[in-house]
Amino acid sequence: MTPGPRAAWPGLTALLLLLWLLVPGAATAQQRPPRVSAPAAILVEPATGDVVVGKQADARRSIASTTKLMTALLALERLSLDDVLVQVPYRASPVESVAGFRAGERVTVRDELRALLLASANDAAATLAVRISGSRAAFVRDMNARARALGLRDTRYANPVGLDDPDNYSSAADLVKLALVLRTKPFFRETVDLARVTIRSGAFPRTFLNRNSLVRSTPSVDGVKTGRTTRAGYVLVGSASRNGVTVLSAVLGTQSEAARNADTLALLRYGLSRYTRKAAVRSGRRFGEAALAYRDTRVALVAERDVVRTVRRGERLAVRVEGAPTELDGPLPQGARVGTVVVRQRGEVVARVPLVTAAAVTEASAADRLGDFVGRTRTLLLLAVFLLGSLCLVLLRRRSTRRTRRPHQGTTEIA
């Protein structure tokens, strides 16, 4: 007999399940880190400090134009964005990236940095170096001093541009550390997230396309800086943000722009899939209540503000209350701090939130105090009467038991 359509479903389901289990990696593809072709790479989630993926992350390698990240940092720290710089002469080779600034042009620091970060303009880097430190050599010394101050142990600079030099190198880990410092600067974050920019200072307006094509093609990607030379290969420090989560990556030494972009995108997507934002505490959330002294009413105790943390998916945050009173007397305003809500992540305290009164607490009146005294006195009297009655009852029972056990007089025992 041929089985009907309904009878065939269980067998089909079992077959599909078996095929799914036999496909290599099908059950755990989302949990495995991506394989990258780059000789050195890293993926970091900065809020937790997690190094999510690392591949030769501390190896010292040529870094091409990602050198300009340090040039940009010194410019942001030492100059005003509205400062106007006179361009220095710069003789570029035919293969170099330049903005086309001419010696003597007057360009704002804001536009110098836009050209530096989006078009990777070497002429902008040269002007920034000389105008900040007085000479290119002095600027390189300043770059190395700043790298040491930031703890970039695997980084050394030989020029402000990123041209190949045995003494110009960094690591994937150091590049991400530097990018994290730069991302604290609002102008930097806004600039590296632009698909294109038009600058209007200088001899005439110029429009530059962001060399980081992932910013132009992928909405979640919001930075940071590309680089490419013969010695370094293709380099990209990347960042991406989604639903409040930001991750940073660096890939060094890939053989093509396509491979560089593929590695970067795989790392960033993996990082965003692994983390989420979780609310440990919500403003106004009730964490208990306290009795009001001399009264039968109570006041709620609530959190003063939100605590939202970036966590690995499935990770829990520990929340406990410290110092919360069981009883309060006023006068206290609404929002008076009476304790603390402590949030721990991975055993470490990450937030302390004031525990406050949800409503104002008035001072107990004389009538409240008298009523409480009378109530307490009445309760004590009733308790005393109860205990006295209980004691009398016990004594009566003992006397009755003794009488029952006493033998009658005149009774003769017969053996």
Longest dimension (CA), the chain: 140
Listed in sequence order, the residues at least 6 apart from 403 whose beta carbon sits closer than 8 Å to its beta carbon are none
- Cα angle 400, 402, 406 (rounded to 5 degrees) comes to 120
CB 49 within 8 A of CB 210: no
Of 55, 68, 177, 225, the active-site residue reads: 68
| Sequence letter at residue 381 | L
| Sequence letter at residue 411 | T
Q: Is 68 a catalytic residue?
A: yes
Cα separation, 191 vs 187, whole angstroms: 6
238: nearest Cα among 228, 227, 253, 226: 226
Of 62, 97, 120, 249, the active-site residue reads: 120
Which tokens sit at 113? 């940095």
Q: Is 65 a catalytic residue?
A: yes
DSSP sequence for 61-90: B--GGGGHHHHHHHHHHHS-TT-EEEPPP-
E-state strands within 76-195: 84-86, 106-108
Of 62, 65, 97, 201, the active-site residue reads: 65
State the burial class of residue 355 (Cβ atoms within 10 Å of its Cβ: 0-12, 13-18, 19+). buried
Expressed in angstroms, the distance from the first to the final Cα of the chain is: 96
What is the DSSP-derived secondary structure letter of residue 259?
Answer: H
Backbone angles phi, psi at 173, to 5 degrees: -65, -45
Listed in sequence order, the residues at least 6 apart from 160 whose beta carbon sits closer than 8 Å to its beta carbon are 67, 68, 70, 71, 125, 126, 128, 129, 136, 139, 140, 143
Cα separation, 62 vs 25, whole angstroms: 35
**Residues labelled catalytic:** 65, 68, 120
